Amino acid sequence: MKWLKRIAIVLAALIVLPVVTLLILGQRSGAGQMHASAEISASPAQLWSWIDDGQRLKQWVSWMVEARAWDKPAGVGARRVLVMRDENNGGAIMEIEGTCTEYSPPSRLTMLLAVKDAFDGQQLYRLTDLGNGRTRLDVESRYHLTNPLARLMEPLVTPQAEKKLVGDVARLKSMVESRAEVR
């Protein structure tokens, strides 16, 4: 009986403490927000095609299987579907519906991204011309997880998502600059 009590106390502590910690961390001001930036040796116009063109987009966004073309000429209100492979869910394919809410080539592109019963949010790509053929790319994302358990896990999810975003932007920089060198 003494051991059962001890086990119950340990199990309760193992569950309650992390849950309370996650709930507190979930209230922080930057919850669900990510940012990545890089200075890339390319002009804004050159860089724009890597963001706007689906074929190029899938080259630097890891785990993207397909980026379908805009359903109408690119601009505010146009939609496109991003198809992702979720290796952590047995390789399941997931379609993310993106709606363009801001389209100002070659400086700003904002997309609303949503998957029913999973998340919704927006991703902003901002390109700033630094002169001398250099551009600063900022990617800012804000997501809201709709699944209650996922919302609880948000303090763990967001840092990993930001790490992935930073890795993708670094890949874009490396790809763009290596192509620029070839030319």
Partner 1 sequence: MNPPLMARALLLAVAGDDQAEFVAGDLHEEFVFLCQTRGRRAGRRWYVWQVARSILALLGLRMRSGEVAHVFAATALGVAIPLLLLDRLWCFVYSQIPLKDGLHRAPGFLAANVICAGLCAAFCGATARSLRRAVAIAAAAALAAGFALWNSAGAAPALYVCVILLIAPASSLMAWRRFR
Which residues sit at the interface with partner 1, rule CB under 8 A?
Answer: 10, 61-64, 82, 84-89, 94, 96, 113, 115, 118-119, 121, 141, 143, 145, 147, 149-150, 153, 156-157, 159-161, 163-165, 168
Closer to partner 1 by CB, 96 or 176: give it.
96
Radius of gyration of the chain (CA): 20
Considering Cα of 123, then 62, then 68, then 174, what sign does the dihedral take?
A: positive
What's the CA gap between 48 and 173, in Å, rounded? 12
Residue whose C-alpha is closest to residue 42's, from 167, 138, 180: 180
Residue whose C-alpha is closest to residue 74's, from 51, 43, 45, 41: 51
Structure tokens at 30: 């930057």
Helix residue spans in 119-153 (DSSP H): 148-152
Minimum CB distance to partner 1, residue 183 (Å): 29
Minimum CB distance to partner 1, residue 131 (Å): 31
Closer to partner 1 by CB, 134 or 164: give it.
164
Minimum CB distance to partner 1, residue 45 (Å): 25
Closer to partner 1 by CB, 43 or 80: give it.
80
Closer to partner 1 by CB, 73 or 91: give it.
91
